[in-house]
Amino acid sequence: MLFPFFKRRKKEKRRGPKLRVDLHSHLIPGIDDGSQSMEESLSLLRGLEALGYEKLVITPHIMSDSYPNSAKTILSGLATLKEEAKENGISLQLEAGAEYYLDECFFEEMRKDEIMAIGNRYVLFESSYISKPLQIEEMIFAIGEAGYEPMMAHPERYRYIKNPEKEYRRFKELGVQFQVNINSFGGHYGKQAEALVNFLNEAGMIDFLGSDVHHKKQLDTLSELFYSEVYHKIFENNTIKNDMLL
């Protein structure tokens, strides 16, 4: 008697919770190290829309030496991008903030009338990956004095973090919100960043998730991670606040 041969079906991967809002990307063409053309920007917007995002808060660098952007340059670039997106049938809601670099001009930036805050509430900041700024706590206080809440971009990427438990806890005591890059969970930024982002995940310290998309490769990695087990764990261990920005 012949028996039919049944192949066991592969277990289908399950998509993790969809984020409706992304709050860290570099999609305004030609003003920092992100997209360098309108064509590239529109392609990335289409890719993010296909992943389920409804709103993007685009965050160009403000860095005195390399990217001396201002509210004027950012908002001008945003207006052009929004117009092109509309003409090309992209329905994403587009806003702009900025990613402020902790350099010698940071205190001056926080004294300006127009601060590029996310949702008019959070100031996204970053620092050198190698050296911890000597005045980092004073810079964090300056954000509060300006009337905003501090949000640290990709805390897992700072190689000066040697004692995660102690150092991350101190930032939390200072009222810092943590925005980690989703792609860090896939090793996109190296093993140390992956180890630190896993620490933050397990400790329940993550507040926001960002794509930090500069180019297509990061978009491709992001789309894969949405189906990973670790991505599901983020929402089990942490209260993710992205969609509160809708």
HEC secondary structure over 111-159? CCCCCCCECCCEEEEECCCCCCCCCHHHHHHHHHHCCCEEEEECHHHCC
Residue 59: which residues within 8 A CB-CB, separation 6 or more? 23, 24, 25, 26, 96, 97, 98, 99, 116, 118, 124, 153
Domain ranges of the chain: 21-245
Write out the chain's pLDDT in tens, 246 residues.
444 544 555 456 789 999 999 999 999 999 999 999 999 999 999 999 999 999 999 999 999 999 999 999 999 999 999 999 999 999 999 999 999 999 999 999 999 999 999 999 999 999 999 999 999 999 999 999 999 999 999 999 999 999 999 999 999 999 999 999 999 999 999 999 999 999 999 999 999 999 999 999 999 999 999 999 999 999 999 999 999 999
CATH class of 21-245: alpha beta
> Which one-letter amino acid corresponds to residue 158?
Y
The answer to whether 225 and 192 have CB atoms below 8 angstroms apart is no
